[in-house]
Amino acid sequence: MWYQKSITLPEFSRGYHLITEIIRKNLPTLPQIGLLHIFIQHTSAALAINENADPSVRRDFRQFIDQLIPDGDKIFVHTLEGDDDMPAHIKSSLFGQSLVIPIVQGRLGLGTWQGIYLCEFRNFGGPRQLILTVWGE
Amino acid sequence: MWYQKSITLPEFSRGYHLITEIIRKNLPTLPQIGLLHIFIQHTSAALAINENADPSVRRDFRQFIDQLIPDGDKIFVHTLEGDDDMPAHIKSSLFGQSLVIPIVQGRLGLGTWQGIYLCEFRNFGGPRQLILTVWGE
Amino acid sequence: MWYQKSITLPEFSRGYHLITEIIRKNLPTLPQIGLLHIFIQHTSAALAINENADPSVRRDFRQFIDQLIPDGDKIFVHTLEGDDDMPAHIKSSLFGQSLVIPIVQGRLGLGTWQGIYLCEFRNFGGPRQLILTVWGE
């Protein structure tokens, strides 16, 4: 079984956002065993899996990572698109632009506390394109 | 060919641990061409591939990453579960919770020096759940 | 459909290099729906996806990451292979050694600005081995 769908996320503010339900509602009936691949077609945003309950986790992600990889670091030469652009590229590759999640007995095999995050690193990133691919049997 | 197995790792101490042999002994006869996906169902631990020989590499990983993303950073608000909790969430998403390894002629296509690490970021993380999925032909 | 090929990259200098075209010319006619997995069999280099146009992005990646994870940090014990060795191991696991890219209507589903980077973290890393795997229908 193969399934593929391209979806456009609504525009999100800079920060970390739970998108698990958006992903779920774009999936077909899942195979008994298989995998879901989620890919974001951008270089200044990322996908991650993390804690799905307390919003303060998402707030702390933003605070800490923005401190670690700060806007407007003097070392950057690629600054034409703004102080948030080059840090966004670096964060994008450190978090990664794709996720692979196992499908177990017809359901996503996420742990109890695992949710899917859109990591929006730009101040005004605009709508983001994802490609969902499911394969299995 | 499809194969899937859920396994529970023994409890590991905080740090980086080689688990290549634990993974291997839970695999079936592998296909000639295929892939192995390993997924950890937690948000305060991770999986990585790195040097499999000298234990000082694993020690340096812990020292350096704990310095980069320190316990008890004043910026954190999500502190109810302890000083090591929020740093563990961040490390988990930076290292990543899944690995995809090619299967080449019936064997894992790891390089000579590549081993599979469990990255345990909590002081007392407890046993961790993995899902192994193999597909190929 | 399954396809697998092992390739040796030419030696690259320390830094971030676009290898999208090298990957493309080693691929077969792609399936309508599928995935490409790229794996690097090393622990001191990595693969990433990032901006494919302005070379200053690759320059800034090197400057910033080398500042964040510096050669010869006093915390390192694993120093026998040189000041650049242990930082290379850490960078390798943070960026990651594999990529999964969707195949959409017979083409790589990369976004307009996405290119494939070889991240060479050693001063003299030598030629690097990749394994390409394609599956789909």
Give domain limits for chain A: 2-136
Q: Which H helix or E strand runs over A59?
A: helix A55-68
Inform me whether the C-beta atom of residue B99 falls under 8 Å from chain C C-beta atoms: yes
pLDDT confidence of residue B71: 98
List the chains bordering chain A where 3 or more Cβ pairs fall under 8 Å: B, C
Taken in order A52, B8, B116, C116, is the CA torsion positive or negative?
Answer: negative
pLDDT confidence of residue B108: 98
**Residue of C2, C41, C75 lying closest to B114 (CB–CB):** C41
Quote the CA–CA distance of C128 and A118 in Å, as a whole number: 32
In chain B, alpha helices (H): 20-24, 55-68, 85-95
Q: Is B13 exposed, middle or buried (0-12, 13-18, 19+ CB in 10 A)?
A: exposed
**Residue of A68, A93, A135 lying closest to C48 (CB–CB):** A93
- Identity of the amino acid at C114: Q
CATH homologous superfamily of B2-136? YjbQ-like (2.60.120.460)
Quote the CA–CA distance of C51 and C60 in Å, as a whole number: 12
Tens of pLDDT, residues B4-47:
999 999 999 999 999 999 999 999 999 999 999 999 999 999 99
Inform me whether the C-beta atom of residue B75 falls under 8 Å from chain A C-beta atoms: yes
pLDDT confidence of residue B11: 98
Q: Are A86 and C64 within 8 A, CB to CB?
A: yes
| Residue B129 token pair | 């759940």
How big is the B-C interface in CB pairs under 8 Å?
86
**Residue of C51, C99, C135 lying closest to A43 (CB–CB):** C51
pTM of the entire predicted model: 0.98
Mutation target vs C (from A35, A67, A133, A134; most C CBs, 10 A cutoff): A133
Please report residues of A whose CB lies closer than 8 A to that of B77.
Answer: 56, 59-60
- Identity of the amino acid at B72: G
| Residue B38 token pair | 């390993």
Tell me how far CA of residue A55 lies from CA of A58, B4, B102, in angstroms: 5, 33, 36
pLDDT confidence of residue B39: 99
B109 pLDDT tier (thresholds 50, 70, 90): very high
Quote the CA–CA distance of A10 and A34 in Å, as a whole number: 28
Q: How far is B57 from chain C (nearest CA, A)?
A: 6
Residues of chain C under the 70 pLDDT cut: none
- Exposure pattern of C104-124 as b/e (b: 16+ CB <10 Å)? beeebbbbebbbbbbbbbbee
Length of chain B: 137
What is the four-CA torsion angle of A123, B84, B122, A94, rounded to 10 degrees? 20
Q: Are B61 and C4 within 8 A, CB to CB?
A: no
Taken in order B130, B136, C2, C5, is the CA torsion positive or negative?
Answer: positive
List the chains bordering chain B where 3 or more Cβ pairs fall under 8 Å: A, C
Q: Are B104 and C6 within 8 A, CB to CB?
A: yes
Contact B127, B9 (CB under 8 A): yes
Closest CA relative to residue C19, chosen from C126, C119, C129, C125: C119
Contact A117, A12 (CB under 8 A): no
**Residue of A61, A111, A136 lying closest to B42 (CB–CB):** A111
Residues of chain A under the 50 pLDDT cut: none
Q: Are C102 and A39 within 8 A, CB to CB?
A: yes
Q: B1: Cβ–Cβ under 8 A, 6 or more apart, which residues?
A: B31, B34, B134, B135, B136, B137
Tell me how far CA of residue C35 lies from CA of A114, C1, C3, C119, C136, in angstroms: 24, 11, 11, 22, 6
Q: A129: Cβ–Cβ under 8 A, 6 or more apart, which residues?
A: A6, A7, A8, A9, A40, A41, A42, C111
pLDDT confidence of residue A63: 98
Q: Are B100 and A104 within 8 A, CB to CB?
A: no
Q: Are C117 and A76 within 8 A, CB to CB?
A: no
Angle between helices A55-68 and B85-95 in degrees, nearest 10: 70
In chain C, alpha helices (H): 20-24, 55-68, 85-95
Closest CA relative to residue A49, chosen from A106, A104, A121, A100: A100
Inform me whether the C-beta atom of residue C25 falls under 8 Å from chain B C-beta atoms: no
